Amino acid sequence: MRYIFPFLLFFSSISLSAQVKELSGKVVDGGSTAPIEGATVTLMPGQRYTVSDENGSFYFREVKENTRLIITAIGYDTITIALADFIKAGQSISLVSRAVQLSQVTVSGSAGGQYRPISKLDIKMRGINNAQEVLRMVPGLFIGQHAGGGKAEQIFLRGFDIDHGTDINIAVDGMPVNMVSHAHGQGYADLHFVIPELIDNVAFRKGTYYAEKGNFTTTGFVDFKTFNVLPANAIKVEGGMFNTVRAVGMLNLLNETTRAKGQSAFIASEYMYTDGYFDHPQDFNRVNVFGKYYGALSKRNHLSFSASVFSSKWDASGQIPDRAVQSKMIGWYGAIDPNEGGKTSRINANALLTTTLNPRSYFRNQVYYSRYQFELFSNFTFFREDPVNGDQIKQREKRDLFGYNGSYHTTYYAGNTQITSEVGANVRIDRTYDSELSRTKDRTIVTDPKMLGNMAENNLAAYVSQTFRFSSAFSINAGMRYDYFHDRYTDKLNGNAKGKASADILSPKLSFYYHPNQFVQFYLSSGKGFHSNDTRVVVPQNGLTILPPAYGSDLGTVVKPANNLLINAAVWYLWLDQEFVYVGDEGVVEPSGKSRRYGADLSVRYQPLKWLYADVDFNYSHGRAADAPKGENYLPLAPQFTSIGGLTVKTKPGINASLRYRYMGDRPANEDNSIIAKGYFVTDAFVSYARKKYELGLAIQNLFDIKWKETQFDTESRLFNEAAPVSEIHFTPGTPFFAKLSFTYNF
């Protein structure tokens, strides 16, 4: 008998070795069984590693039988497990959630993964007041509201005044937020249909370097992901200054037994009202309802389906001229035309089917639909154009948006080179009805119709992205994207005259990644991107300027010099070709020439104590018009130096507190820098006490109650008592001291 055991051990080791020549597995949340994306799986000895994909899956080739697996993920306990035990457990790892610690972060060498640690840390550590503010999770990104709480915010990033989304690609669960050929502005991105408590993760990347991203991806992209599995049932109520009230309810529709089997369904709703801090009340109302199902249809197929309804209406005080405040005609929070405001609504349906073919390959097929309505009343020039009735304008549209995103993902080897491949296709179909620009009086009387028509815009795209991993230290990502646009416009003010135009663009991408160990990564990225122009521009131009290209490059590093310190630094360059810009507020086309921008980004995350977390971002940019004479080549409202930072305290008894600042430096307001948009420094604070069943919170905006200008424009306007127009800064005042209490009950 004593000779039999050695033979049994010998044959069992041969069997084990054969079983694990190729190793695949899955990382899931121990509480919800939802897959964990971005978990780092390391094999020891040898320190070979990989990162789990969106399905929680990972794959290795030629694994030895004496291997240990180390699995780390932000917000979870680290697990070390022997290979044999991992196989016995069914090749699935359940991680237990824990308080977020910077020590959990490893620097990944995966392509495009340089922003993942910061995005995951920040979303867990920093509080969120609304979905639009989550955009501030992107280092260097600033937002500004200038027409009441219901209008999409103005966005600034990398030396761009992006307006409401022209040069940044924004999506929620893969569904686009940006609206092409919008009544107010190209790329208009209104995120107010997202309930912030449902945001599970925010993925962002800067630059033009990602084959899967097309239109508007010049400064980068931001992807919001909502929970697949609701963490807990909850009721939340908020109340604050300026007659502000808000209520949120979130409810699981399936019992715990069903959820443990991988099936989840929940519904959430939100209501908000505020008068705002202006002299003329905003009377701002917002209603959101969101429902989602996530579950396994079979062993290989997982379905995510969500539907939502959003409605909002508001009054606004708009932008006011410096001279009206200085002369005491109006106060700092006053209005020249108090009849501004608007209403908007959006109905969404979004379905995603993920089909796993084998441990190394899967398909994603997504279809979505949105029914969108928008109406906005604004007055930027007051009495410049019409001294009798005033210059109020109405912008309105109705829209149907249909789309499909499909992709095939696989990992394979060519010799010793690991190749991760993604091949995909995108279809987006926009149909707008009665897109209107009119001069109006008191929101009711149309004094001068400017534009009225229907638009049809189709965008078809295909792309391929290949990541070649030559060793654990060095990899290359190469991609190519092809986009085709076809636009049609029916002009209802010109006898239903019809026009059409089409164009296409090829966008190559190339990035290099060097990752000598788990503490540092260097990357060099380059690529071509674009943003489309408005149909009302490109049809008269016969398609000449539909797709002005952008060329960018980044050289950067992610380094973790200590267990509690993470640094991300980059220098970048971005060139934009000549384009024509449609000014929706005027119904005219303004030509703008070539431009170049370059700059530097620095982000630091530091956790000196388990309960103390510090973050700071510094961003510098230098932008100029390439064709204009020196001294007349400034880019109006382009940020030059910005910084965001703060301290966060999280203690075991459940006390959470943060103190944060936002700083934007002075910047040119016109082309010759003769008018300056003044900078600001604003401080916010938050404190809460949380137990298992409830949480009490206090949020304060503008803690020191400074007067600041949130948005600024060099505008030529005429007041009712003026003989001639005046060009100067027009601004929207930023939030004064604003305190808000909240109570959340979990059940």
**Surface-to-core class of residue 329, CB atoms within 10 Å of its CB (0-12 exposed, 13-18 middle, 19+ buried):** middle
735 in Cβ contact with 702 (< 8 Å) = yes
Average pLDDT estimate for 657-677: 95
Of residues 656 and 110, which shows the higher confidence score? Answer: 656
Among 14-28, 32-46, 288-302, 321-335, the least confident range: 14-28
Up-side HSE of residue 547: CA atoms within 13 Å toward CB?
21
Whole-angstrom Cα distance, residue 450 to residue 12? 81
Among 134-138, 171-175, 203-207, 250-254, the least confident range: 134-138
Closest C-alpha to 747, from 292, 250, 29, 264? 250
Distance (Å) of CA 634 to CA 64, 531, 628, 715: 61, 21, 9, 16
Q: What is the pLDDT of residues 635-659, one digit of tens each?
A: 999 999 999 999 999 988 889 999 9
**8 pLDDT band (50/70/90 cuts)?**
very low
CA-based radius of gyration for the chain? 27
Q: Strands 393-414, 417-441: parallel, antiparallel or unpaired by DSSP?
A: antiparallel
Closest C-alpha to 57, from 360, 455, 335? 360
- 1-10, 48-57, 98-107 — most confident range: 48-57
Average pLDDT estimate for 658-686: 96
33 in Cβ contact with 70 (< 8 Å) = no
Of residues 593 and 362, which shows the higher confidence score? Answer: 362
Q: In the prediction, which pLDDT does 16 show? A: 41
Q: In the prediction, which pLDDT does 14 show? A: 36
112: pLDDT strictly greater than 80 = no
Non-local CB neighbours of 401 within 8 Å, separated by 6+ positions? 176, 179, 368, 369, 370, 371, 372, 428, 429, 430, 431
Average pLDDT estimate for 411-437: 95
Average pLDDT estimate for 606-625: 95
Closest C-alpha to 604, from 171, 69, 121? 121
Bridge partners (DSSP) of residue 644 are 617, 662
Cβ burial 199-222 (10 Å sphere, 16+ → b, else e) = bebbbbbbbbbbbbbbbbbbbbbb
Q: In the prediction, which pLDDT does 583 show? A: 60
Q: Chain-wide mean pLDDT for the chain?
A: 90
- 23-27, 134-138, 245-249 — most confident range: 245-249
Average pLDDT estimate for 84-88: 88
**627 pLDDT band (50/70/90 cuts)?**
confident
Non-local CB neighbours of 13 within 8 Å, separated by 6+ positions? 65
Closest C-alpha to 397, from 427, 368, 435? 435
Q: Considering the chain, what percentage of its residues have pLDDT values greater than 70?
A: 94
Q: Which domains does the chain have, with CATH numbers?
A: 14-98 (2.60.40.1120), 115-274+281-746 (2.40.170.20)
Q: What share of the chain is helix, strand, coil (3-state, %, to 5)?
A: 10, 55, 35
Q: In the prediction, which pLDDT does 543 show? A: 65
Q: In the prediction, which pLDDT does 75 show? A: 84
Structure tokens at 477: 């990502």
Q: What is the pLDDT of residues 113-142, one digit of tens each?
A: 778 777 777 877 776 655 557 788 889 999
Model-wide pTM > 0.95:
no
Closest C-alpha to 113, from 53, 183, 161? 53
5: pLDDT strictly greater than 50 = no
358 sits in the region (left: phi over 0; alpha: psi -120 to 50; else beta) called beta
707: pLDDT strictly greater than 60 = yes
Structure tokens at 132: 């639009």
Q: What are phi and psi of 650, to 5 degrees?
A: -135, 115
645 in Cβ contact with 169 (< 8 Å) = no
